[in-house]
Structure 1
Amino acid sequence: MVDLIPRAHLFGNPTRYGHQISPDGRRLGWVAPHEGVLNIWSAPIDDLDAAVPVTTDRRRGIDAYAFAYDGRHLLYVQDADGDENHHLYAVDLTTGERRDLTPIPGIAAAIVGLSRIVRDRVLVAINDRDPRFHDLHSIDLATGERSLVIENPGFAGFLIDERYAVRFAFRNLPDGSSQLIAPDGANWKPWLTFPPEDARVSGAENLDAAGTALFCRDSRGRNTAALTRIDLATGETRVLAAHEEADIGAVLQDAETHEPVAYSVTHARKSWHVLDPRLTDDFAFLETQGLGDWYPASRTEDDALWIVVARADTRVGEAAIYDRQAKTLRSLGSARPELEGAPLAPMSPAIIRSRDGLDLVSYLSRPLDAQAPGPLVLLVHGGPWARDSFGFDGLHQWLANRGYAALSVNFRSSTGFGKAFLNAGDREWGQRMDDDLSDAVAWAVAQGVADPARVAIMGGSYGGYATLMALTRNPGSYACGIDLVGPANLETLVRTIPPYWEAMRAQLHRAIGDPDTEEGMALIRERSPVYFADRIKAPLLIVQGANDPRVKQAESDQMVAAMERGGIPVTYLLFPDEGHGLVRPANRLAFFARAEEFLARHLGGRCEPIREDESAGTSMQVVREG
Structure 2
Amino acid sequence: MKKNYMNKLSLSIFLFLILVSNIKAQNMTEETATPILDRELFFGNPEISGGQLSPDGKWISFMKEYEGIMNIWVKKFDEPFEEARPLTNSKRPMQGYFWSFDGKYILYVKDENGDENVNIFAVDPMATAEINEVPVSRNLTPLKEITARINLVSKKNPDLMMVLLNDRDKAWFDLYQLKISTGELTKIYENNDRVTGFDFDWDEKLRILSKTDEKGSTVTYKIEGEKLAPIYETSVSEQAYVTGWTPDNKKAYFVSNKGDLNLSTLLLMDLETLKITKIESDPKNKVDFGGLSTSDLTRKIISTSYTDDKTTYYWQDKSWESSYKFLQSKFPGRELSFQSSTNDEKKLLVAIYGDKYAAEVYYFNVETKELLLQYVPRPALKNVEQYLAPMTSVSYKSSDGLEIPGYLTIPVGSDGKNLPVIILVHGGPKGPRDNWGYDSQVQFLANRGYAVLQPNFRASGGYGKKFLNAGDLQWGKLMQDDITWGVKYLISEGIANKDKVAIMGGSYGGYATLAGLAFTPELYACGVDIVGPSNIFTLLESIPAYWEAGRAFFYAMVGDPKTVEGKKRIEEASPLFSSDKIIKPLLIIQGANDPRVKQAESDQIVVALRDKRKQVSYLLADDEGHGFRKPVNNMAMYAETEKFLAEILGGRYQQEMPENVAIRLGEITVDISKVTYEPKNK
TM-score bin, normalised by smaller chain: over 0.9
Q: How much has 1:456 moved relative to structure 2?
A: 0.1
SS in 2 for 1:196: coil
Give the corresponding residue for 1:90.
122
Q: How much has 1:386 moved relative to structure 2?
A: 0.5
Question: Does the CA-based 8 Å contact 1:210-1:257 persist in structure 2?
Answer: no
In structure 1, runs of 5+ residues without a counterpart are none
CA distance in 1, matches of 2:275, 2:57: 37
SS in 1 for 2:422: strand
Give the corresponding residue for 1:207.
245
CA distance in 2, matches of 1:316, 1:569: 38
Q: What letter corresponds to residue 183 of structure 2 in structure 1?
A: G
Q: How much has 1:115 moved relative to structure 2?
A: 1.6
Q: What is the root-mean-square deviation of aligned Cα atoms in Å?
A: 1.8
Give the corresponding residue for 2:280.
241
CA distance in 2, matches of 1:276, 1:178: 34
Question: Does the CA-based 8 Å contact 1:101-1:144 persist in structure 2?
Answer: yes
Give the alignment partner of residue 468 of structure 2, picking from 422, 434, 439: 422
Give the corresponding residue for 2:142.
103
Give the alignment partner of residue 172 of structure 1, picking from 190, 207, 212: 212
1:545-556 map, 5 Å: 545-556=591-602
CA distance in 1, matches of 2:566, 2:224: 37
Q: Are positions 1:188 and 2:233 aligned together?
A: no
CA distance in 1, matches of 2:549, 2:298: 31
Give the corresponding residue for 1:374.
419
Give the alignment partner of residue 7 of structure 1, picking from 39, 42, 51: 39
Give the corresponding residue for 2:663.
616
- Cα shift readout 1:156-187 (whole Å, capped 9, x = no counterpart): 12112355432111222333332212335555
CA distance in 1, matches of 2:581, 2:483: 19
Q: Are positions 1:253 and 2:294 aligned together?
A: yes
Question: Does the CA-based 8 Å contact 2:455-2:483 persist in structure 1?
Answer: yes
Give the corresponding residue for 1:331.
373
Q: What letter corresponds to residue 276 of structure 2 in structure 1?
A: T
Give the alignment partner of residue 175 of structure 2, picking from 119, 132, 136: 136
**TM-score computed with the length of structure 2 as normaliser:** 0.88
Give the alignment partner of residue 195 of structure 2, picking from 144, 155, 158: 155
**TM-score computed with the length of structure 1 as normaliser:** 0.96
1:463-474 map, 5 Å: 463-474=509-520
- Cα shift readout 1:423-462 (whole Å, capped 9, x = no counterpart): 1101111110100001111111112110011000000000
Q: How much has 1:208 moved relative to structure 2?
A: 4.0
CA distance in 2, matches of 1:490, 1:230: 40
Give the corresponding residue for 2:17.
none
Give the alignment partner of residue 161 of structure 2, picking from 109, 122, 126: 122
Give the alignment partner of residue 104 of structure 2, picking from 49, 68, 72: 72
Aligned length: 623
Structure-2 change in CA distance of 1:230 and 1:172 (3 Å): same
Q: Are positions 1:294 and 2:336 aligned together?
A: yes
Which protein shows a greater Rg? 2
CA distance in 1, matches of 2:116, 2:178: 21
Give the alignment partner of residue 38 of structure 1, picking from 66, 70, 77: 70
Give the corresponding residue for 2:27.
none
Q: Are positions 1:567 and 2:613 aligned together?
A: yes
Q: What letter corresponds to residue 420 of structure 2 in structure 1?
A: P
Give the alignment partner of residue 390 of structure 2, picking from 342, 346, 361: 346
CA distance in 2, matches of 1:601, 1:411: 29
CA distance in 2, matches of 1:257, 1:236: 24
Give the corresponding residue for 1:315.
357
Give the corresponding residue for 1:593.
639
Q: How much has 1:189 moved relative to structure 2?
A: 3.3
Q: How much has 1:35 moved relative to structure 2?
A: 2.2
**Higher helix fraction: Structure 1 or Structure 2?**
2
Structure-2 change in CA distance of 1:560 and 1:242 (3 Å): same
Q: How much has 1:293 moved relative to structure 2?
A: 2.9
Structure-2 change in CA distance of 1:127 and 1:163 (3 Å): farther
Question: Does the CA-based 8 Å contact 1:23-1:71 persist in structure 2?
Answer: yes
SS in 2 for 1:442: helix
SS in 1 for 2:600: helix
Question: Does the CA-based 8 Å contact 1:574-1:623 persist in structure 2?
Answer: no
CA distance in 1, matches of 2:254, 2:340: 22
Give the alignment partner of residue 446 of structure 2, picking from 386, 391, 400: 400
CA distance in 1, matches of 2:564, 2:244: 40
- Cα shift readout 1:571-619 (whole Å, capped 9, x = no counterpart): 1111111000001111101110000000000100011113233213565
Question: Does the CA-based 8 Å contact 2:508-2:532 persist in structure 1?
Answer: yes
Question: Does the CA-based 8 Å contact 2:222-2:271 persist in structure 1?
Answer: no
Question: Does the CA-based 8 Å contact 1:413-1:422 persist in structure 2?
Answer: yes
Give the corresponding residue for 1:540.
586
Give the alignment partner of residue 536 of structure 2, picking from 485, 490, 506: 490
Greater mean alpha carbon deviation, residues 489-498 or residues 462-471:
489-498
CA distance in 1, matches of 2:489, 2:169: 49
SS in 2 for 1:262: strand
Question: Does the CA-based 8 Å contact 1:574-1:621 persist in structure 2?
Answer: yes
Question: Does the CA-based 8 Å contact 2:408-2:451 persist in structure 1?
Answer: yes
Structure-2 change in CA distance of 1:185 and 1:491 (3 Å): farther
Q: What letter corresponds to residue 368 of structure 2 in structure 1?
A: A
- Cα shift readout 1:217-247 (whole Å, capped 9, x = no counterpart): 1223321112222222232333333111111
Question: Does the CA-based 8 Å contact 1:224-1:417 persist in structure 2?
Answer: yes
Greater mean alpha carbon deviation, residues 118-127 or residues 527-536:
118-127
SS in 1 for 2:671: strand
Greater mean alpha carbon deviation, residues 241-250 or residues 541-550:
241-250
CA distance in 2, matches of 1:42, 1:617: 31
SS in 1 for 2:115: coil
Greater mean alpha carbon deviation, residues 262-271 or residues 328-337:
328-337
Q: What letter corresponds to residue 564 of structure 2 in structure 1?
A: E
Q: Are positions 1:53 and 2:86 aligned together?
A: yes
Greater mean alpha carbon deviation, residues 581-590 or residues 206-215:
206-215
Give the corresponding residue for 1:19.
51
